[in-house]
A and B are shown apart, each in its own frame.
Chain A
Amino acid sequence: MINIWRLTKLQLLSTFGLNKALHTKDPAERRKALLLSITIMAGVLMIGAFSFSYSFMMGMAFEELGRMYLLLAIMMAVTSIVGFFTTVYKASGVLFSYKDYDMIMSLPVKTSHVVASRVLQLYVMNLFFTLLVMLPAGAVYAIQVNPGVLFYLFFLMTLLFITLLPIIAATIIGALISWVSSRFRASKMISVVFTFAVLILFMLGSFNLNGDQQELADMGAGLGDAIFKLYPLASVYVDAVCSYRVSSLIFFIALSVLAFVLFSAVLATRYKAIHTGLMTSHSGSRYTMKPLQANSAFKALYFKELRRYFSSANYVLNTGIGMVLLLVMSVSLLFVSSEKLGVVLNIPQLSEYLSTLSPLVVSLFVVLSCTTASSVSLEGNHLWILQSSPVSKPTIILSKVAVNLTITLPVIAVSWGLLIYTLRTGWMESILMLVIPVLYACYSAMLGVIVNLKLPKLDWTSEVTAIKQSAAVLVSMILGFISLVVPAALFMLLRSVNGNLILLGYGILMAAVCAGMYRYIRISGERLFLRL
């Protein structure tokens, strides 16, 4: 068991530059670490406060109905479902793709312990989200219900296990996808396609589970049933925490632990075979010289970066998910009208909100698809090739921006066409629905690469560390969300002002910020690159 912890600790130390921050003696690095910690803390506090106020508002409604336990049931189900979806596309990368595989596997450690340590890494990543959602919800429940001591005890005990089972389920799917993909030559691309297909199927499946729309709209009668139908374990959880049923508590914890142990043991039997299948390159050794095509430096860098992007299943899955979701949403709206959706969600003015706010909703998916925030980190040990090449560094940086735009702009264009058709927007809304997401695509791509140049993570052993757990990705994500929260808040605060006018003004501001960042890359790109 101690080996599982040792291996997990080794991986966690490289997360978010933790070990570097703890051991650096350089004052500049310390300042950077402090600034980063403050940014993360501010982000956590902001999300925590938002989570609390959301729980509080829901709690008020449930208290009126006399069914406060539904608050914990919903939050627990949401945490589990979000944990599941965000783990499916990370699972394969965390389980199988890491550079120190040979070193780790040569150690006198059981394979099942190596697997367990990889799953625990996924668990810890999800635990933060669980705490951010469940702790405020628990606090609201405690304030409203004033429960006995057992509640606190059972609540804290189950808190650690809520996310375990969804992660195991997601990891099983991730491992299965890897196992199937490892048998094919183009294993990485097959893995990407399978994962996206599974995610879309599950999403559509969960929508269908809520098919009885009136049930969701009717808060009093069937919401509890709907939640328990969607995620049956929520009922066991509520029994344990709110009704203090010890048998449910034991069942809940035992099921989670048993699933974890069984999964680690079973995967261990095929672990090496899957890894070998995924990592084996096919070599023909029959090449004869053919005419070559000469390109400009920018074009060469662009195609190199594009190949890099599509060569990594982790990279595509983690940054492409936003674009896939955007397409799914745009296509779904063809079948469910915004008016109908408004009835389902009990928001009468949803149709009106959607046509005004949809540029920001589309932009949210764009911000989720920032490939540049890890593009510099992903150069890793290859960085010397670019550093020693006779190409201006802004050209290199802008080639990374161009790849991000290649991923986002076509999807923005397609979803724009679908959305203006389904939402029947006016000409002004239609223009804004295209221009604002395009501006966000430029903003997000340039912001990502600048933040990554300032906060590089070049010494990774697993790509996922750079793609998902690096400080640059976290900071650009937070800054991206802040840039979306501002106009959304303006909408709320300035209700009397025309929404299009607010978006137009904000669009001009975003265009100015983009121009500023482009200029910054042109002027300071060389210096930033040399400091890596």
Chain B
Amino acid sequence: MLTIKHFTKSYKGGKKAVDDLSLVVERGDIYGFIGHNGAGKTTTIRAVVGVLDFEEGEIEIDGISIKKDPVACKANIAYIPDNPDLYDHLTGIQYLNFIGDLFRVSKANRERLIQKYSDAFQLTANLGDMISSYSHGMKQKLAIISALIHEPKLLVLDEPFVGLDPKAAHTLKTIMAELCSSGGAIFFSTHVLDTAEKICNKIAIIKAGQLIAHGSTEEVKGKNSLEEVFMELIDND
């Protein structure tokens, strides 16, 4: 579903934010992407979803290059950044309808899916309000709903659990599991190692722009907890 081959991103001044990163996310995977602040997680994620330009390496979504055909790739991806700023001047339902239009979701499907997910996140009653009146958590929920209404094949999330209440976090985990069991894939970054350990079947750990461990969760953590492995890998050097 997602193939990253030798992806390198250098920032102005020559410093490498990500260096020769390669990994594969297959259908059905919930792939956790872990690293400390500034390790290169967001840079990688932004390149995967076609928001960030890059010169070295290749990223393919379902066999299509994000560089060569970004529009076709993006039609299959849903992306939620770590701090999703939404259009304050729209109401929740206007925003969802806008996303539905951009992703060409049929009228019947968008009505059904908006109802389904906004009920699941208990946001339906607020959809008529301006987004400017929403709390941080409500905006996060709206961003998640907007990501789900076009039934993406690949869900790319940057710190999706930040700002969510426990009920919403549980709902999101359930939906993530459903999406993967129906053939989709999820690639997400997180600092919540307990959650990653519980829900991910694959884990990648990035440090200073380089992948230092990746594979199935069991392979990466062995008999230890993910937190212990992470701390050991990050501290060693």
Contact = CB atoms under 8 A, between A and B. Distances in A.
A492 interface: no
B194 interface: no
Residue of A289, A297, A382, A391 ringed by the most chain B CB atoms within 10 A = A289
Nearest to B150: A390
Given A286-B125, A289-B114, A392-B71, A312 B89 contact: yes
B12 interface: yes
Nearest to A386: B102
A287 B126 contact: yes
Interface stretch (B127-135, B177-185, B222-230): B127-135
A308 interface: yes
B201 interface: no
B53 A381 contact: no
Contacts of A304: 87, 90, 98
Interface in B46-65: 49-51, 53
A211 to B, nearest CB: 43
Nearest to B123: A287
Contact of B133 (A283, A289, A300): A283
A514 to B, nearest CB: 26
Given A289-B114, A293-B97, A385-B87, A391 B130 contact: no
Interface string A519-532: 00000001000110
Chain B CB within 10 Å, residue with most, of A285, A294, A387 = A294
Q: Determine chain A's interface SS by DSSP, over half rule.
A: loop
A387 B51 CA distance: 5
B74 A287 contact: no
A25 B12 contact: yes
A381 B85 contact: yes
A388 B129 contact: no
The range of chain A's interface size is 35 or more
B207 interface: no
A106 interface: no
Contacts of A301: 102
B171 interface: no
Contacts of B165: none
A388 B53 CA distance: 12
Interface in B79-128: 79, 81, 83-90, 92-94, 97-107, 110-111, 114-115, 118, 124-128
B34 interface: no
Nearest to B70: A526
Interface residues of B, number: 51
B102 A390 contact: yes
Given A29-B12, A312-B89, A389-B74, A283 B129 contact: yes
A291 B126 CA distance: 16
Contacts of B115: 289
Nearest to B75: A390
A283 B88 CA distance: 13
Contacts of B49: 388
Interface in A271-288: 281-288
B166 interface: no
B212 interface: no
Interface in B155-170: none
Contact of B85 (A29, A283, A285, A382): A382
Interface of A: 25-26, 28-29, 281-289, 291-297, 299-301, 304, 307-308, 311-312, 380-382, 384-385, 387-392, 526, 530-531
Given A297-B104, A388-B49, 12 more contacts: A282-B130, A285-B126, A287-B124, A289-B124, A292-B110, A294-B107, A297-B101, A380-B85, A384-B51, A388-B79, A390-B73, A392-B71
5 contacts: A286-B128, A288-B125, A289-B124, A381-B83, A390-B73
